[in-house]
Structure 1
């Protein structure tokens, strides 16, 4: 008899396995269980939903297998489940992992077809195979994934003894051979982590494959089954529940198989599992990911050495090699020397951490526990040697990441930096960031370690990198709050008064150079002197901020630190150095000779012209200077920007000048992909756009739809005004700064809106950070009381 499901099927759905044997019944019942709408009173919780899905599919499979002719005890054929169905952890829209196992005494090809085809017809994902017990075990001996999958074998229908024999033999052979496969297990784990990233610290974590995710829990279970490690603790079990519940609700919400949690899904998923919001969920997941990743790290280290698997009847004790005072390498782990006295040595913790980070070694769990019990906090202010140990740790490079993670999990990092608690596991609010705030700070420090030779005070660069976003997680401006916290930390570390001032200023102004370089006219003397005045003319602070800008950008996410941005920041820094030294700044040249000649030709013929100049390509990578010239009438800038967008050219900067009665728009652009288009094509499209025969808005809208368009959950656009920052000869000029979700034709739309209001744009800057854009426009101000409101409303409508 088919088993009675613990969770009844929806009353109006025909029972699967009824007289009609209709797979549509299974699909309808499943769809009812997964019906959207979090306000439904009968909506099942995540854990109950997984059990209901297991019961639903198992109940139907038993009846279906019986009708297909699988047979019962003594038939020599069994249908078994592995994967989520085998573990009774079936999440929505998961494939069914099924194995038809047999003794080879009867043909099973037709039987298999009768089993699989109705499932395919029902649109149910299926990962299936047909094997004898011996064939399945042979494949498992060669393929790790199969070996791990067979550990979850659970009988569904058919000959119970066949399924039980496969399950027992698979577990028996795994226990016997697991130690010899540990290197293979460790390599597969590292490969998967490199591909999928981390659950902890990633803004968009992969709940299944990421480091600290559900796949790691499968490895832990397998190692425990082989008696190589203890069964996971209650903390790990709680992490498993959170990961499973989050994955369940994410798939129910998405209505498709999805394992990567995006920020825009966070609030709804959080509400479904009883958490306040996406930030609460992100922090909970980060903690769960840390727990699982640490458990697997310790498990793999405890079962393997640098020479291979641990074990053996006469295995030698691990070698001990001194690394620093009181610190040794014990096998593959950093540990305390036998004569170390953690209770009396305030610098021992940092020496252990620095030795581990330099060598890329883990710290032994026993050592972490002993340090946590007895290591004192350094007295305040820190002694010089202890401070030097901190700098050695921060400058260790890539090894810093895992060491800080280990110290943070055991509470030792907070003992050194109590301010860290506010940013621990804190998800960023900026879409450009791929890490949580605490991991971003560590990654910035790792990157800064590669730049220490570019500055005269490497210690301040490394400490500043670690603290530059320490003010996040509060209501106030994080740079202002962070500067106060940095001064507090600097005094505790024993820095001099002058060094504390520089450190606080680094944190306060860590965004000054990149923001100014990408949003203002850096060739204008007003802009340069404003930066110099902000930094009190301190060349050391300028040097440190230059390196910090690069480290911060590189640690934010892919594409944030570009060749173009690097050149802009470097040029701004060079201008500031000249101004600090009292030298004359180079006078900006509005148009070069070829551009003036082009303008005169356009004025004479009336025919628009376009030129591309890649002479700066060697210095700026793929950056190209594009010049568009047409008769001086309103709309030249917007039409040129539209043509560039139509050809997938990303605009970084634009200036507008007039010469001989012609408008000259000069753009710095890079192709979004490939190479720049033929100038003849740009000229033809620009000529048509200028005459009105090319429907730019319509074509750009179509292209944006092809690119996916503006996301439905994009943040609300915002307009800011800045006086006395435009530079140039017009003292009344203002800067309008638009912050909005990026899209292909954004610059064209906004420029068009401004031109329709009679605004004469002097220059524009476009900065893209992930999916966000910051576009700045400089133009002459109008004293009319409603002028700014009118401009702002038009710009927001254009977005």
Structure 2
């Protein structure tokens, strides 16, 4: 065969020389080809050589032979040092003739040291291989006829694709498992210092995966993110990944999939992107776009799988309501049929909050419709929109996927326009695991586990989300971020005092860790300096303490440990001693109009709009008696009225309770109906707890549940519940910090009453999915540590238990 291969080897050597000229001198007039033009030139070059060689060997139409490309050449994505993947098809030709043609086709390429992945098959053999080997099938799905008998190529490609469509139901799980195994080995491109552009999550293999699902007619090749999506969607992400990998080959001088740190600057410059940080940002955006599309594609494909046997008789999935205008359908959060995004700007946040709470993904069509139709929220935001944002942020790790989906579809930037500067921004410090935007979300997820440590969980999670928002703009990011936090707080509709506190959280979020680890804590001036910087505010100190831990945990492995925890804890204790004397909870003043109504006697229930689109004030005035608070709160919960805040007091023998509520669906019931049911409940005709238990059991909950003390399924909490006691001249005060639950205020009041305590006054506040409820109790001579423990145990028995600890494993850097 040496004689046969000599002239062929010379021709293959010409191919190698031509390829080298393209890589070194480029195209006409020695102009350096850009990445896309280089790929096109390489495809043309290899096809030209194969056509010329095939003509020499008699591989022509009607010859019984065909050359079919797979891999990069088939996709027209030939990279500088890609393997040449070819199949020589034949129509049951004499084996000797087949061997002769194959040798004369392959040997010149081998002799020229061109990397060749080859096979010789009949059509039936090729189709059988694709049916037996998933990896081979994925390659042959992309096959493209190059030269020869195109009938053979068409038969093979058609047969492979037909069998793929027909057999996808039995191969889908293997396909998913293979992809997950690959992701486990190669990690996420967006969060790797040296990512694998081909095999990593969000890489080129994932685009091929989507193409395979598209050929199986289970999903679109660009699910969820078409060319009109922010940043150009999937098409732009695909091109960028290819361009980077093309330049990686050119820089490395050989085939390479992993982008090394030392090559990043040169590749960024070649692509006119910038330095390695600019390149990392482009890669993060592209990879996260691909990852989102893969999630949508796999989910869509799973729902579209053809059914067999009895599963064909399964009823059409039921649309279950989750919130106003939001339902669950086939395991996804979608819009209700009567939802009107154009008239409901808060719908985006309700959909996202429902997704986070149920741990069900938002459907791609829903996100696309919201992106096209939902208007901007007016400024300041209505209270219900802020509350939905807090519910989303307070969902722990369950919030990460909804926020990522909103971000990839352009909706998160609509909610927080300031996010653009930190989106996909790579960290400058190697200790950071995540991009800046993902770090902010990770910090918020950790902070949601600390909400019961602080009296203002809403400001903690907002501060966690915004603490690094000033990065990417130049200057001290804490100072820049403080200005942005003020801007954002005003837009969200926070009280001016809360805006000031949010600003201070962002401004001083590094104060505790930097002081504790760099200054002498034994020096009194160190403590005094921190106290002075914080204006002597113990609440700000409390919030910064929790944020410091969340921020460290979200930074990377080993950043938070016993040493750092003890130093910051010691500094905080010293600051508290200097501050001292923080104010105790106090009851809200009673409206004189309500006092006048109470003097008239009887039971009164008023309901009026509070100012927001979905917010109302319910005022209950009735003769004060044990159980009234529980009954009133239970009636509201039974009618799907979520208590956002409450002020509960008494005057002259009458209870005066005001509740700020938000209906879960539609409009609230008439005040007259609420009054009638309150009277029935007070008379013992309604077992409110039993009715609430049934309503809770029937509620949609995809997250894990536990059975509470009363045998009721209770959603897990992000943070452990906490009970605080304060002693005052008017009696002990119990403050509960916990996760919210259907009818929680009703259950708490009943639990306290059963323990033998009377409630003098109470205040309740719901911030997102967290509650801070305060009860001033009348215990009398029976006030003992044992009684307080009994009351505390009764209260804790009706709140959600903390979710089992599930620490994320950060990506390697």
- Report the TM-score when normalising by structure 1: 0.62
* Stretches of structure 1 lacking an aligned partner (at least 5 in a row): 1-15, 585-768, 773-799
Other structure's SS at 1:152 match:
coil
- Looking at structure 1, the residues matched to 160 and 502 of structure 2 have their Cα atoms a distance apart, in angstroms, of 60
> Is 2:406 the partner of 1:407?
yes
Q: How far apart in 2 are the matches of 1:771 and 1:182?
A: 29
Q: Give deviations 1:525-578, integer Å, cap 9, x for gaps.
A: 554544444334444333333332333233334x35253xx4223323224313
Alignment of 1:296-311 (within 5 A): 296-305=294-303
Q: How far apart are residue 356 of structure 1 and its match?
A: 0.5
- 2:418 matched residue in structure 1: 419
Q: In the aligned structure 1, how far is the partner of 2:333 from the partner of 2:110?
A: 54
Give the aligned partner of residue 106 of structure 1. Answer: 95
Task: Say if 2:327 and 2:335, in contact at 8 Å, map to a contact too.
Answer: yes
The 8 Å contact of residues 183 and 200 in structure 2, kept in 1 or not, is answered as yes
1:409-437 Cα shifts (integer Å, max 9, x gaps)? 44432332222222223333333334332
1:244 aligns with 2:242: yes
Using the alignment, how far apart are the partners of 2:572 and 2:452 within structure 1?
Answer: 21
Structure 2 CA distance for aligned equivalents of residues 271 and 510 of structure 1: 36
The answer for the alignment partner of 1:473 in structure 2 is 472
Aligned to 2:502: 503
Name which of 93, 116, 119 aligns with 2:81: 93
Q: What residue in structure 1 maps to residue 21 of structure 2? A: 32
In the other structure, the counterpart of 2:370 is 371
Taking the TM superposition and a 5 Å limit, the aligned residue runs for 1:531-546 are 531-546=530-545
Q: Which runs of 5+ in 2 are unaligned?
A: 581-809
CA 1:88–1:375 in 2, change beyond 3 Å: closer, same or farther? closer
For 1:242 and 1:540, the matched residues in 2 are separated by 47
Q: 1:259 aligns with which of 257, 260, 275?
A: 257
Partner residue, 1:442: 441
User: Is the Cα–Cα contact under 8 Å of residues 469 and 482 in structure 1 kept in the other structure?
Assistant: yes
2:565 to 560, 565, 569: 569
Structure 2 CA distance, aligned partners of 1:162 and 1:343?
54
Q: Could you tell me how far apart the structure 2 residues matched to 1:536 and 1:125 are? A: 69
Aligned partners of 1:208, 1:433: CA distance in 2, in Å? Answer: 24
Looking at structure 2, the residues matched to 395 and 224 of structure 1 have their Cα atoms a distance apart, in angstroms, of 36
Task: Tell me which residue corresponds to 1:598.
Answer: none
Q: CA deviation at 1:246?
A: 2.3
Q: May I ask how many residue pairs the two structures share in their alignment?
A: 569
Tell me if the contact between 1:77 and 1:158 (Cα under 8 Å) persists in the aligned partners. yes
1:11-47 alpha-carbon deviations (Å, 9 max, x no partner) = xxxxx98576375554444333323899994322222
Tell me the distance in 1 between the aligned counterparts of 2:502 and 2:304: 41
SS at match of 1:407: helix
Q: Is the 8 A contact 2:519 2:526 kept in 1?
A: yes
Report the aligned-residue RMSD.
4.1
Q: 1:48 aligns with which of 23, 29, 37?
A: 37
Asked whether 1:84 is paired with 2:37, we answer no
Larger RCO (CA within 8 A; separation ≥ 6):
2
CA, structure 1 residues 190+285, in 2 after alignment: closer, same or farther (shift >3 Å)?
same
Deviations along 1:97-122, one digit per CA (max 9) or x if unpaired, are: 23344548516678767765665564
Q: Which residue matches 1:170?
A: 160
Q: 1:316 to 1:260 in 2, by over 3 A?
A: farther
CA distance in 2, matches of 1:37, 1:19: 25
CA contact (8 A) 1:72 1:160 kept: no
Report which stretch shifted further, 137-146 or 309-318.
Answer: 309-318
Post-superposition Cα deviations, 1:748-771, rounded to whole Å, max 9, x if no partner, equal xxxxxxxxxxxxxxxxxxxxx999
Q: By how many angstroms is 1:334 displaced?
A: 0.6
Q: CA 1:469 to 1:307, structure 2 compared with 1: closer, same or farther past 3 Å? A: same
Whole-angstrom CA distance in 2 between matches of 1:770 and 1:179: 33
Taking structure 1 as reference, are residues 376 and 162 closer, same or farther at Cα in structure 2, changes over 3 Å only? closer
Query: 2:431 — aligned with what?
Result: 432
User: Which runs of structure 2 are paired with 1:591-670 in the superposition (5 Å)?
Assistant: none
CA distance in 1, matches of 2:579, 2:475: 38
Residues 344-384 of structure 1: per-residue CA shift (max 9 Å, x gap): 55543322111101222222234334434554555544444
Distance 1:218 1:578, change over 3 A: same
Matched residues in 2 for 1:465 and 1:457: separation? 13
Q: Could you tell me how far apart the structure 2 residues matched to 1:174 and 1:324 are?
A: 40
Task: Give the whole-Å Cα distance in 1 for the aligned partners of 2:404 and 2:390.
Answer: 17
* Residue 330 of structure 1: how far off its partner (Å): 1.1
